[in-house]
Homo-oligomer: A and B are copies of this chain.
């Protein structure tokens, strides 16, 4: 998937995968790859800064976890994150609908 296409939608994607259950950055990337059938193959330089951004906005929160000697920072949605997610879903729907209207 070309980079520019997902601009402005990465946060929505990340929030969406975190809604099901908390996850660390690497797992977020994996879930996105899997759930999109490989279409969203986001670089680390995309996913981690996105998580920092979301944490800065208070939409996710994190804590360190050590599993088998590996440090993981596990993120989960905050209440504000849940609300933001539902708003962004509606925003996406409006966008996709408008795109469809122009393209049809």
Contacts and interface: CB of A to CB of B under 8 A. Distances in A.
Contacts of A8: 2-7
Given A89-B103, A92-B103, A103-B16, A98 B36 contact: yes
Give the interface residue-count category, chain A: 20 to 34
Instruction: Identify whether the interface residues of A are mostly helix, strand, loop, or mixed.
Output: helix
Nearest to A103: B16
A1 B99 CA distance: 11
Given A9-B99, A36-B101, 15 more contacts: A1-B94, A1-B95, A2-B8, A2-B91, A4-B7, A5-B9, A5-B92, A6-B95, A16-B102, A16-B103, A35-B102, A36-B99, A36-B102, A89-B103, A96-B99
